[in-house]
Amino acid sequence: MYEKICELLAEKFDVDVSTLSENTSIKEDLKADSLDIVELMMDLEENYDITIEDEEAMKLNTIGDIVKYIEENK
């Protein structure tokens, strides 16, 4: 799952997947704005058949946070 999420982020934010880690910050390192975050959450919901509430989405700061959330809510 981690690798697939990294691939999704690399494509979405036009970065090399090898530069991503569990500690990569979505907002700081990938320069995601609020629209990017909403689109990312929609992509994750579609790809993993989950629902991410807005208040939960705001807590998902790193790739590791996203992976953990999906694993716990799938």
* Domain tally, the chain: 1
Q: CA nearest 43: which of 3, 16, 11, 68?
A: 11
**CATH number of 26's domain:** 1.10.1200.10
Q: pTM (2 decimals)? A: 0.92
Active-site annotation, residues: 33
On whether the CB atoms of residues 23 and 68 are closer than 8 A, the answer is no
**Containing structural domain, residue 35:** 1-73
Phi first, then psi: give them for residue 25, nearest 5 degrees.
Answer: -85, 130
Q: What is the pLDDT of residue 74?
A: 87
Reported as a single tens digit per residue, the pLDDT across 1-52 is 999 999 999 999 999 999 999 999 999 999 999 999 999 999 999 999 999 9
